[in-house]
Amino acid sequence: MWNLATAVSPAPWPAPPDPPQPRPTPLGDPMLAARFAVPALPKILVRRPALLERLTAGVQGPLTLVNGPAGAGKTVLTAHWASEALSPYPAVWLTVEPGDAPGAFWAYVLEAFQRRGEQLPPEVGSPTRAEGVDRSFLVRLANGLAERPDPVVLVLDQFDSARAPEIVDGLHFVLRHAAHGLRLVLTGRTDSLLPLHGYRTAGEITEIRNADLRFTGADTCVLLREHGLEISEAGIRLLVDRTDGWAAGLRLCGLAMRASADPEAFVREFAANRTTISDYLLTEVLDAQPPSTQDLLLRASITDRIHPGLADTLTGRDDADWILAELARANAFLEQVDGSAWYRLHPLFAEVLHAHLRHRCPGLEPQLRGRAARWLAGTGRLAEAVAQAAAAGDWQFAAGQLVGDLAIGRLLTGLETDRLSRTFATMPTDLPGAATGLVTAACRLADQDLDGCTAGLRRADEHLTDDADLVSRLSRAFVGVLAGRLAHDPAATERAAADADRLLRALPEPLLGQHPEIRAMVLAGLGSAELAAGRLDRAETGLTAAVEASGRPGTEYPLCDALASLALAELLRGRLRQAEQHARGSLAVAERSALPPERLGALDHLVLAGVAAEHNDLTTARAQLDLATGSAGPLPEPVLALEAAVIGSRLATAEGDWEGALTTIHAAGSAAAPLHLADWTADELAIAESRAHLAHGDPGAALDVLDAVACDRPEHTVARARALLAAGRGDHAMATLADLPADALITSTSRTQASLLQAQAAAAGGATEQAHRHLRTALGLARPEELRRVFVESGPWVGRLLRQDPRLAHAHGWLLPAREPGQLPAGACERLPVVIEPLTARETDVLRQAEQLLSTEEIAAELYLSANTVKTHLKSIYRKLCVTRRSEAVHRARDLGML
């Protein structure tokens, strides 16, 4: 016979390492640095005191808008205000760029605060994924701002570039909830999507619009005088009329007139001409430049920012350094990005130049972009190089760079995912080559499109021979691991992971050090596949290694993922404490690094629900299960969906909803049928179903469903013994338990259950002493993890047995959870009926009447009480029996022998 005395409690498991604190994203790039700096002011600057004062007054309220078309002087005005320190509060500057995904946007906002030396509390955390941030991050940020002694001004220049509605929503939320800690200044070409009407109604907005930004005659006069031009009053009037006070137009006029022999004649000609102003003036200014400069400007228009080296590459000459410096000095709509060798063209100028390039040199653009891509790649600017190559349609180069740099993981994790996947979104899927195949596969993987991913991998494999370079082969193995996991194909996952492991060893450490996500995601993928296959030991080893390999910035996603899978593995092994610890660790990392909730967290909440269910804390279990299944939509992995069904049915059974429990199980079973999942999942479902049947008093059905699954898992054997015992076949049950191998890995839940069954059988056979001995063993096994549920499920005999042995009951006080004060939550207040507060005589009378299905009024009449008194008695009965409904009270009281 299987000797319970040899059952030892599980070996103590070392606590998982504290999830590392994500450090701020390294944003050392000078181009990025420029986004946090107040832009340099034009050398010729017209001071506009009235507008500067309006900005200063504006930041006394929460929101200031500076809106106007391109070239209206929004940024110049705001930068002037910021650089003269006219703001009464510290001002933080961020230039928003098109394509800033929400996660990246918030990361930059935090970085802007940090660079300005405005500290936010560390618990605010920082976003690590491009797609977005969760609400709790915004709450922490708003709280951090609200706690400041004085407000901070956040200037978001070009806020109209923020296309993602989540950014605007998030900003509105933070502004509303930061008390008076945040003042926003937004510049943009279009009105922002913020609910401006509300701010206007509340008088909380200051608006500086195009009509305010327009240059007056006096402004124009100052501007032209600074250009060294003296123009007649009539000429000024003509200019202001023709340009409608458009600042950029007037600046261009100044440049063009300086180059023209007769400024007054220029004015007359300009006023008479009907061509679009920007086109006319830019053409004038461009044509006034020497041919080499014109050529450089046209060619440079394909990129946002120009480096002399890049410009030389584009022109094929070596004069860019000098020309760019000269143009910036002459203020020809080119400015140097502070402290760097880079220059930036005025966006309007760049757009018009770009149009001229296409007009004057048709077909040249792709060639130029190809050259730019190579120069950018050569200087280590991967994302920009890839974007240029993609814009040139040079997909081979774009994909080749990404793969060659071992950056394939950046399509799946990190702040650049959004930008990179948009870059590759238009790549044709039939290009030959290993790199394009791998990039397609990774992009499809990010969209959970297994077929597309497999097709991409197949294409890559056609070109990847054994003598292909290590980086490409590692990238192939990396995508293979993740694809295997998505396909629930443990064999393929393992093969790919073995390849990856070998290649990781062969690659130089510095390259791997730049891409810690590769190793971490391979290990996490392998561990999860092992978990899905039911190999818990190996899953645990792999996932623990994945946790250890994570910790550097960029690995937050695999860290969360690995911790969550590890939590499930521990739950399945009955190690509730470790399971809970890992699940909470995973949620903490997700929280701190503001990972978006949709793909993470479901598993963590599921594990916490499972832990609470074993503890018989049904309220918590239900709440966690709702978190796991409710908000996140369908669970991404079928194993999770199955486990959710198992836990859900268990809760439904506990709540007396037998039909609900069966429906849940059957739905999960039919959803899983076509997926060819591992055998253990079918067994989990069968055990859950048998539990529901037993609770309903149908041991025959319980046995049938278990026997339909041939399985030698100890959990199965124990469940079967339970059904046999319930069916009155105690000898069979005990023989089944005796078959349990002594050395197998058996969860403490199953061991406890087995001892309880032995106790029950002994008690039924009148062997009281033996029954007590088994009960004692069961209690000892259950105590470390506080497995209360299994005692509750066993039925009222446990309570009777325990009441016969007050010392034992006293020693195991943990069986009774601390009583909650006040009203017990509805529907989920089941408590272990070991010690029940006895009903008063009057309460028993009321319950007896309720058993006869009498209504409250009828009971009142029968017992000569008022209806209100009956209600009071019923409430007291519900509380004592831990139920919420009359029928439950009657059932429970019957079970407990109280009726």
Partner 1 sequence: MRYEFRIAGLVSEALAEAFPEFDRVPVPVPVPEETLFCGPVTDEAHLYGLLVRFQSLGLHVLEMRQLPG
- Name the one range near partner 1 by CB under 8 A: 37-45, 325-333, 353-361, 602-610: 353-361
DSSP secondary structure string, 758-789? HHHHHHHTT-HHHHHHHHHHHHHHHTTTT--H
191 makes contact with partner 1 (CB under 8 A): no
Report the C-alpha gap between 182 and 151 in whole angstroms.
5
- Name the one range near partner 1 by CB under 8 A: 139-147, 344-352, 391-399, 495-503: 344-352
List the one residue from 30, 61, 69, 817 that touches partner 1 (CB under 8 A). Answer: 69
Report the C-alpha gap between 88 and 521 in whole angstroms.
48
Task: Select 251 or 573, whichever has its Cβ closest to partner 1.
Answer: 251
List the one residue from 123, 147, 269, 279 that touches partner 1 (CB under 8 A). Answer: 279
Task: Select 248 or 737, whichever has its Cβ closest to partner 1.
Answer: 248
List the one residue from 356, 488, 716, 886 that touches partner 1 (CB under 8 A). Answer: 356
C-beta separation of 828 from 655 below 8 A: yes
Task: Select 350 or 523, whichever has its Cβ closest to partner 1.
Answer: 350
Q: Give the CA dihedral 196, 201, 204, 210, nearest 10 degrees.
A: 50
Site string for partner 1, 151-190 (x = CB under 8 A): --------------------------------------x-
Task: Select 52 or 348, whichever has its Cβ closest to partner 1.
Answer: 348
Q: How many CB atoms lie within 10 A of CB 11?
A: 7
Nearest to 259 by CA among 343, 331, 334: 331
Task: Select 353 or 646, whichever has its Cβ closest to partner 1.
Answer: 353
Report the C-alpha gap between 499 and 634 in whole angstroms.
32
Residue 285: CB minimum distance to partner 1, A: 13
- Name the one range near partner 1 by CB under 8 A: 12-20, 68-76, 327-335, 464-472: 68-76
Residue 275: CB minimum distance to partner 1, A: 5
Q: Which residue has the tokens 């077929």?
A: 451
C-beta separation of 641 from 635 below 8 A: yes
Residues 6 or more apart in contact with residue 745 via CB below 8 angstroms = 536, 537, 573, 714
DSSP class of residue 18?
P
C-beta separation of 485 from 445 below 8 A: no
Nearest to 622 by CA among 821, 478, 828: 828
Residues 6 or more apart in contact with residue 472 via CB below 8 angstroms = 403, 404, 434, 435, 438, 464
Residue 359: CB minimum distance to partner 1, A: 4
Residue 556: CB minimum distance to partner 1, A: 33
List the one residue from 277, 441, 644, 703 that touches partner 1 (CB under 8 A). Answer: 277
Task: Select 352 or 543, whichever has its Cβ closest to partner 1.
Answer: 352
First-to-last C-alpha distance (Å) of the chain:
40
278 makes contact with partner 1 (CB under 8 A): yes
C-beta separation of 208 from 81 below 8 A: no
Q: CA angle, 149 as apex, 143 and 151 as ends, to 5°?
A: 75
List the one residue from 83, 283, 292, 454 that touches partner 1 (CB under 8 A). Answer: 283
Residue 26: CB minimum distance to partner 1, A: 32
287 makes contact with partner 1 (CB under 8 A): no
Task: Select 347 or 452, whichever has its Cβ closest to partner 1.
Answer: 347
Task: Select 114 or 283, whichever has its Cβ closest to partner 1.
Answer: 283
Site string for partner 1, 297-336 (x = CB under 8 A): ----------------------------------------
Residue 273: CB minimum distance to partner 1, A: 8
Report the C-alpha gap between 849 and 587 in whole angstroms.
50
Residue 483: CB minimum distance to partner 1, A: 32
List the one residue from 31, 70, 146, 470 that touches partner 1 (CB under 8 A). Answer: 70
Residue 65: CB minimum distance to partner 1, A: 17
Task: Select 215 or 680, whichever has its Cβ closest to partner 1.
Answer: 215
Segment (H or E) for 79:
helix 74-83
367 makes contact with partner 1 (CB under 8 A): no
List the one residue from 15, 45, 265, 355 that touches partner 1 (CB under 8 A). Answer: 355
Residue 71: CB minimum distance to partner 1, A: 7
Segment (H or E) for 459:
helix 450-463
Task: Select 282 or 761, whichever has its Cβ closest to partner 1.
Answer: 282
- Name the one range near partner 1 by CB under 8 A: 66-74, 174-182, 228-236, 687-695: 66-74
Segment (H or E) for 335:
strand 334-336
Phi, psi for residue 106 in degrees, rounded to 5 = -70, -35
Residue 588: CB minimum distance to partner 1, A: 39
Residue 298: CB minimum distance to partner 1, A: 10
Task: Select 276 or 887, whichever has its Cβ closest to partner 1.
Answer: 276
248 makes contact with partner 1 (CB under 8 A): yes
Residue 356: CB minimum distance to partner 1, A: 5
Residue 278: CB minimum distance to partner 1, A: 3
Query: Footprint of partner 1 on residues 382-411 (CB under 8 A)?
Result: none
Task: Select 248 or 477, whichever has its Cβ closest to partner 1.
Answer: 248
List the one residue from 16, 19, 71, 308 that touches partner 1 (CB under 8 A). Answer: 71
- Name the one range near partner 1 by CB under 8 A: 5-13, 23-31, 347-355, 704-712: 347-355
DSSP secondary structure string, 608-641? HHHHHHHTT-HHHHHHHHHIIIIIT-S-SSHHHH
Reported as half-sphere exposure (CB side, CA atoms, 13 A), residue 193 has a value of: 13
Q: Where are the alpha helices (DSSP H) in 334-414?
A: 347-360, 364-378, 382-391, 395-404
Entry field: residues in the chain = 899
Q: CA angle, 748 as apex, 531 and 830 as ends, to 5°?
A: 100
How big is the site for partner 1, counted in residues (CB under 8 A)? 23
C-beta separation of 142 from 106 below 8 A: no
- Name the one range near partner 1 by CB under 8 A: 269-277, 323-331, 702-710, 744-752: 269-277
- Name the one range near partner 1 by CB under 8 A: 271-279, 427-435, 510-518, 719-727: 271-279
Report the C-alpha gap between 221 and 748 in whole angstroms.
88
352 makes contact with partner 1 (CB under 8 A): yes
List the one residue from 61, 347, 780, 827 that touches partner 1 (CB under 8 A). Answer: 347
Q: Give the CA dihedral 586, 589, 590, 595, nearest 10 degrees.
A: -140
C-beta separation of 591 from 801 below 8 A: no
Strand boundaries in 571-614, DSSP class E? none
List the one residue from 9, 275, 426, 840 that touches partner 1 (CB under 8 A). Answer: 275
List the one residue from 351, 365, 655, 862 that touches partner 1 (CB under 8 A). Answer: 351
Nearest to 694 by CA among 731, 735, 649: 649
463 makes contact with partner 1 (CB under 8 A): no
List the one residue from 216, 276, 448, 852 that touches partner 1 (CB under 8 A). Answer: 276
Provide the angle, in degrees to the nearest 10, between the axes of the packed helices 135-146 and 102-115: 20
Report the C-alpha gap between 108 and 27 in whole angstroms.
9
Task: Select 353 or 399, whichever has its Cβ closest to partner 1.
Answer: 353
- Name the one range near partner 1 by CB under 8 A: 272-280, 441-449, 461-469, 736-744: 272-280
Segment (H or E) for 445:
helix 434-446
Positions touching partner 1 (CB under 8 A) are: 69-71, 189, 248, 274-280, 283, 347-348, 351-352, 354-356, 358-360
